[in-house]
Structure 1
Amino acid sequence: MQTLKQKIANKQPGIVTYGMTPPKITSTPEQIADIAEKQTDRLKDLRLDGLLLYDIQEEADRMERERPFPFLSTVDPGEYGERYLHRLNVPKIVYRCVGKYTEAELSEWIRADPERDRFAVYVGASSGKQSVALRLADAYPLSRRLNGRLTFGGVVIPERHAKHRDEHVRIVAKMNEGCAFFVSQATYNVEATKNMLSDYYYHCRDNGIGMVPILINFAPCGSAKTLEFMKWLGISIPKWLENELLHSHDILDKSIRLSQSIFEELLDFGLEKGIPVGCSIESVSTRKVEIEASVQLLAQLQSAIDRRLKPD
């Protein structure tokens, strides 16, 4: 079986990851350990290529609407993965919102464990108005220079492509800076994501560029409040789909079935064109029922991948 590093290097389709936000910084060590134990028990029997650990930043300046849930800082994702999630024997992919760190701080983290394969996703400022200590454009050469065994990726936003039509150009520019894979923002908009993948494919084909894996992110929605939070985050929810969720008898079950349908359409589109499409699953809610639904969705998307990629 190929490792995550090999799958990324070989530009394999079907990579599967799960994403989670570390506990709040106000949690006690005992509370953190208890949360980690529950998360480990949920995921330990699933076939994961990697675990995404998010690094969150305040984004109040990005949106005019009031945040539906309060912002609270969390435990450092690298520390959480190392200290509390060691029983999950899968690679940890640590997000770094680079604007939060000085060059010295990020350099220290990049240099750590130089003999071990590590993974990161570098994230830029949430808006042009955000004050940053380090620019995303500076993090890429820093990472390449300081640790060749740290495989890093970037973020893609299908909704941004729907507006500006240049997300595929951004992807290739980041690939030129060393990004070896990408993870999308959570999506329910199949058209925006498919348009982005299509432009990515034809741009790479016409310019002789090898495509790297793109993991499409999905998150179950279990309530109207979660739906509002998703919209605040910038996740595009088409009106027809919003109606389907809000007027369904079971919004959570409906969101799972819609997410699976969307992913299967995107996976088939990617396989047809040779785009290495994979998926990542998360829960944007801390409600137990939505977290458990995200695990159910992961298993279903893994099965969809198996049906298409496993030999008969």
Structure 2
Amino acid sequence: MKSQLADKFQDPGRGVYFIGSTPPKSTTQEEQLIEISGKLLARLEDLEVDGLIVYDIQDESSRIDKPRPFPFMETHDPRAWSQRLNSASGKPVITYKSVSSRSSEAFTAWLNEAWNEYGIKDLVLVGSPSSQGDIKLPLPKAYNTLADNEHDFNLGGVTIAERHAVKGDEHLRLLKKSASGCDFFVSQAVYNHQATADLISRYARTCRDRGEKPKRIILTFTPCGSAKTLEFMEWLGISVPDATKHRILDAEAPLAESIKICRNALEQIIETALPLGVPLGLNIESLTNRKEEIDASIQLYKLLKATLDLKLAEQALI
């Protein structure tokens, strides 16, 4: 059976809306897994969501010299966490998969298990966090392996506006990934709206020049309520302009300030993307397990979904 999300992604007149989730650490027992998934889904009961996104967390220490602000811990298999959330909620789940550490044959086996045993239909493939180390399966070869697979996965890719700001070629990466089968893209968390708007503008114009329709870009946003969270965001490669950092850290209510910043960023990106015909979506996550930031991520979801829905309704009148 084909992905439930594929048809929704094809309708440029509507947004698509997701909540991001990280699998619990691998030592978490079944009783706790039930409790954690129950709490997550209880938060979503009053929200209109199209689905969830489950990440495949990697160490990534090879990518950067700075120490990781929060210790890396192995997690449960993202496929199992996706299956659990899908079964409990009935919502589709997009599952991330880091591909560099296994051979093409092992990746094929992983794909077949994902489809047959875990019911995974929607995938985002992620390459190595750096060019260093033993890369057994580069991302382009992983796309080829997936294309040869018998199962009809709904495939997405990652887009990083910060990379475009430095190299100026992220739009070409998107076009290459589209040619490899990607039908949507999920951004890294946005705190530099200008970098994201620049990427979307270049991507849309290049698509127009080539006679192609832009694929949907799902924008990720996350609240930030402390210096430690901000440090982790920067460690992950999220670009936060100095003025934005100061706004958050100097505010009486940093979380509320970060939500205002995210809303403004979305409004700025929408003004670029919608006139150029780039379909958008939202993915809201909390980067920490702090209750305040998790609660803020739900507030952020409600606000940003309302913002995008309103802009889409206005666009439909033009």
TM-score band w.r.t. shorter chain: over 0.9
Distance 2:130 2:139 in 1: 12
- In the alignment, is the contact (CA less than 8 A) between 1:13 and 1:275 conserved in 2? no
- In the alignment, is the contact (CA less than 8 A) between 1:11 and 1:211 conserved in 2? no
2:255 is matched with which residue? 252
1:29 is matched with which residue? 30
1:219 is matched with which residue? 222
User: What is the CA deviation profile of residues 182-209 of structure 1, one whole-angstrom value per residue up to 9, with x for unaligned ones?
Assistant: 0011010011111101110111111111
Report the alpha carbon displacement of residue 88 of structure 1 after superposing the two structures with TM. Answer: 1.6
Give the partner amino acid of 1:281.
Answer: I
User: What is the CA deviation profile of residues 21-56 of structure 1, one whole-angstrom value per residue up to 9, with x for unaligned ones?
Assistant: 110011111112111111111113311122110001
C-alpha change, 1:138 and 1:12, in structure 2 (3 Å) is: farther
SS in 1 for 2:308: helix
SS in 1 for 2:123: strand
- In the alignment, is the contact (CA less than 8 A) between 2:56 and 2:97 conserved in 1? yes
TM-score normalised per structure 1? 0.94
1:280 is matched with which residue? 283
Q: Does 1:103 align with 2:104?
A: yes
1:73 is matched with which residue? 74
Give the partner amino acid of 2:22.
Answer: T
Distance 1:90 1:147 in 2: 24
User: What is the CA deviation profile of residues 139-192 of structure 1, one whole-angstrom value per residue up to 9, with x for unaligned ones?
Assistant: 112212214421111100000000000000000011000011000110100111
Candidates 123, 126, 129, aligned match of 1:123: 126
Distance 1:147 1:290 in 2: 41
Distance 1:13 1:170 in 2: 25
SS in 1 for 2:240: coil
Aligned ranges 1:1-312 → 2 under 5 Å: 3-11=4-12, 13-83=14-84, 85-112=86-113, 113=115, 118-310=121-313
- In the alignment, is the contact (CA less than 8 A) between 2:86 and 2:93 conserved in 1? no
Distance 1:238 1:54 in 2: 26
- In the alignment, is the contact (CA less than 8 A) between 2:95 and 2:120 conserved in 1? no
C-alpha change, 1:33 and 1:84, in structure 2 (3 Å) is: farther
Report the alpha carbon displacement of residue 13 of structure 1 after superposing the two structures with TM. Answer: 5.0
Matched residues, number? 311
Give the partner amino acid of 1:283.
Answer: S
Give the partner amino acid of 1:46.
Answer: L
Q: Which runs of 5+ in 1 are unaligned?
A: none
Is 271-280 or 244-253 further displaced after alignment? 271-280
- In the alignment, is the contact (CA less than 8 A) between 1:13 and 1:213 conserved in 2? no
Q: What percent identity do the matched residue pairs reach?
A: 39
Give the partner amino acid of 1:64.
Answer: D
User: What is the CA deviation profile of residues 119-140 of structure 1, one whole-angstrom value per residue up to 9, with x for unaligned ones?
Assistant: 0000000000032232211111
Is 76-85 or 199-208 further displaced after alignment? 76-85
Give the partner amino acid of 2:103.
Answer: T
Q: Which runs of 5+ in 2 are unaligned?
A: none
Distance 2:47 2:136 in 1: 38
TM-score normalised per structure 2? 0.93
Give the partner amino acid of 1:53.
Answer: V
Give the partner amino acid of 1:143.
Answer: L
